[in-house]
Structure 1
Amino acid sequence: MNGQRKHNFNPGPAALPLEVLEEAQEAFVEYGGLGMSMMEVSHRSKVYEQVHEQTQTLLLELLGLPRSYRVLFMGGGASAQFALVPMNLLAEGRSGVYLLSGSFAEKAYQEALTVGDAVVASSTKAQGWRALPQTEGLRIPENAAYVHITTNNTIEGSQFRSFPELGGEVPLIGDMTSDLLGREIDLTRFGLIYAGAQKNLGPAGVTAVILREDLLDQASGRIPAIFRYATFAESGSLYNTPPVHSVYMVHLVLKWVQHQGGVAAMERRNVRKAQRIYEAIDASGGFYQGIIEKEDRSIMNMTWRLTSEELTRRFIEESEHHGFDGLAGHRSVGGLRASAYNAVTEDSCRALADFMTDFQKRYG
């Protein structure tokens, strides 16, 4: 490898493990002696079908889910799922129930309104998303089709630690795009979860949808086949041409997670990474100001502000000069953000914390 890799804190597409990139590089032009790249292999070939099936199986294993759950590989990112969840599960006379905790949670709710009836069970929009809605004591309508929660808010930097107790009749739906595989969660409490790959799963281009088989029976058949979960389940996600190379990359990332010790090991490392950055914020005496209430802080996306826009611009410029990338906050909220997904190393987080301390000494 020529040159020095940057400390990549981009929110997505995000850092990929160096080992995965190197393995993919070796097979980029020719995979497995086939005389062609994986990007050129037919999705109907035995070679790809094996990778495809192994990827689905390994994902369930790493998440601790039984075979009563199905893995679907779809397109359109999580944004497509904002529409596909209600299109499939929101029957006439039923309501989709949403917890609003950030910008993407609100987008999911707004999209559901274009499909059918949707209601807000709890929201912290009035507080500027600085804290998370309560998950206890929610008033769930009797006609609820599902309850939707965004488990980690990528833009704002907050993360749920507890989830609604719904019993067995109303399924819990989770947008886990930015924390799937990053921490241990009892996912059997969810009827359906979805995640765009470009955070912890792999490169952009494929979306993982994982749902209980019984929800396939409830899914609407009155929508186009390409939008039905049942279509993808029945075809093994091979109804149309999948993003073959993206799925292959997900396969390599899942093997990497397995070799690291699984999700539990990822969580331990992610907690240490986040602590380093939060310690730099909290020890700054107000020079750095955390955006999210401490008890709701994310271990995936750390957000903070400086005391002026001028200092923020200078921080971004100097950080880029020192080999950091992706630290500008989302354009809708400003400030600063470090997205430290699984592939971001502890060394990178240590280097960022040191840079933050040094920057404060020079400008505080």
Structure 2
Amino acid sequence: MSAWNFAAGPARLPDAVLALAERSLFARDASGACVSEQPFSGAACRALRAHASRQLAALIDLPADYRILFLAGGAMQQFSLLPLNLAAPGQRVGYVDTGYWAARAALEATLHRPVHTLPPPGDAPLAVPDDLAYCHLTTNETADGLAWPELPAPPPGVPLVADATADFLCRPLDISRFGLLYASAQKNIGVAGLTVVIVRQDLLARSPASLPALWSYARQAEADSCVNTPPVLALQLAALVFDWVAEQGGLPAMAAANRRKAALLYAAIERSHGFYRCPASPPWRSPVTVCWHLPEAGLEERFVAEAVAAGLHHLAGHPRRGGIRACLYNAMPEAGVAALAEFMADFQRRFG
């Protein structure tokens, strides 16, 4: 029986990447050291950063006036670094409240700058005040199963900033729409401990000189993400993943596969006639984090337990939201999603 990992993160790595990592990450070269044992200012580490940057830039069609930073830590660290780098003291920052992680980001920002909370758009366009230092959104809410169907357009002079952790590299994205975009690695990039920050060059000038060097986007850009020792091992894995995505056909191929996988689960939910209930409205349903509920909490517990016995792991919803959650990041094969859809139909036959 195959085992499938639907964890929200740290999430599954592509099989080919995992196999290559086993052979290559700790292989020592003629110097007697693997890359993780060598000085980060040395040739091997410089070559690694250069390769990862080139491959990622090609995948996302990076505009010439943007910089890629590879920073230690996770996306939550950026919740504080964003207002400190992009907003002057006392200047308001905007946060669109679409769910759990958007609210967490806004709450952290309140420690540093005044926060203006924006409701998610309904029939009318998102109304963004023109005095904000930036407008922040979360492209995919992993706890709620929501994804933006269409990006908003803030007023000129208000950069759009996004936490793209959950769906980064899952589909083509027009980087020029953003002033800054960030994504931690443990969902579609590699392993925890690394965050990618993509920032428009002109915004680096906003970083105050008084910021500690480790916190400053400008200082990190000047130092090629090496103000301190970078997370070399996590970056090696990220580079392998970037290569793998390119070999699969790039972001259009990732998007097509993710649409097929999500369609399998949403079809299973719709066919259940209410036994499985998806809280997200169809336009906002995420293609990579599918969330649903059963009629009773006891049934949800039984679903998760029986799923484990069937080789379907880590399907419990976020602790603050409950229910069931299946994360269909790039590395999840369609066969795993088909197995889950089949299990859902069987479970409903027995308990519906």
TM-score range, shorter chain: over 0.9
Q: Which amino acid aligns with 1:87?
A: L
Of 51, 66, 69, which aligns to 2:66?
A: 69
2:224 aligned with 1:224, yes or no?
A: no
CA distance in 2, matches of 1:347, 1:142: 47
CA distance in 2, matches of 1:34, 1:177: 36
CA distance in 1, matches of 2:167, 2:86: 24
Q: Give the match for residue 14 of structure 1.
A: 11
CA distance in 1, matches of 2:50, 2:124: 38
Alpha carbons of 1:135 and 1:151: their partners in 2 closer, same or farther (altered >3 Å)?
Answer: farther
CA distance in 1, matches of 2:28, 2:290: 38
Q: Give the match for residue 117 of structure 1.
A: 114
Displacement, 1:91?
0.7
2:323 aligned with 1:326, yes or no?
A: no
Of 120, 125, 138, which aligns to 1:137?
A: 125
Of 343, 346, 351, which aligns to 1:358?
A: 346
* SS in structure 2 at match of 1:209: strand
CA distance in 2, matches of 1:22, 1:138: 45
Gapped runs of 5+ residues in structure 1?
124-132
Alpha carbons of 1:159 and 1:169: their partners in 2 closer, same or farther (altered >3 Å)?
Answer: same
* SS in structure 1 at match of 2:118: strand
Q: TM-score, normalised by structure 1?
A: 0.93
CA distance in 1, matches of 2:237, 2:155: 37
* SS in structure 1 at match of 2:82: helix
Q: Give the match for residue 249 of structure 2.
A: 261
Preserved CA contact (<8 Å) 2:182 2:195 = yes
Alpha-carbon displacement from aligned partner over 1:91-137 (angstroms, at most 9, x marks no partner): 134210110101110111111111011101225xxxxxxxxx34953
Structure 1 vs Structure 2 CA RMSD: 1.5
2:95 aligned with 1:107, yes or no?
A: no
Displacement, 1:187?
1.7
Displacement, 1:285?
1.3
Preserved CA contact (<8 Å) 1:93 1:143 = no
Aligned pairs for 1:221-300 within 5 A: 221-300=209-288
Displacement, 1:184?
1.7
Displacement, 1:167?
4.6
CA distance in 2, matches of 1:167, 1:324: 45
Q: Give the match for residue 147 of structure 1.
A: 135
Q: Give the match for residue 35 of structure 2.
A: 38
Q: Give the match for residue 50 of structure 2.
A: 53
Gapped runs of 5+ residues in structure 2?
none
- Structure 1 stretch displaced more, 320-329 or 37-46: 37-46
Preserved CA contact (<8 Å) 1:136 1:164 = no
Of 166, 172, 196, which aligns to 2:184?
A: 196
Q: Percent identity?
A: 40
Preserved CA contact (<8 Å) 1:160 1:296 = yes
Preserved CA contact (<8 Å) 2:269 2:278 = yes
Q: TM-score, normalised by structure 2?
A: 0.96
CA distance in 2, matches of 1:222, 1:321: 55
Displacement, 1:227?
0.4
Preserved CA contact (<8 Å) 1:13 1:199 = yes
Preserved CA contact (<8 Å) 1:135 1:162 = no
CA distance in 2, matches of 1:264, 1:34: 40
Displacement, 1:238?
1.1
Displacement, 1:34?
4.6
Write out the 4+ residue segments of structure 1 that deviate beyond 4 Å after TM superposition. Answer: 31-34
CA distance in 2, matches of 1:67, 1:33: 36
Q: Which amino acid aligns with 1:47?
A: A
Q: Give the match for residue 166 of structure 1.
A: 154
Q: Give the match for residue 307 of structure 1.
A: 295
CA distance in 1, matches of 2:188, 2:10: 10
Q: Give the match for residue 80 of structure 2.
A: 83
Alpha-carbon displacement from aligned partner over 1:229-264 (angstroms, at most 9, x marks no partner): 011100000110111000000000000000000001
Q: Name the count of aligned residue pairs.
A: 352
CA distance in 2, matches of 1:155, 1:33: 47
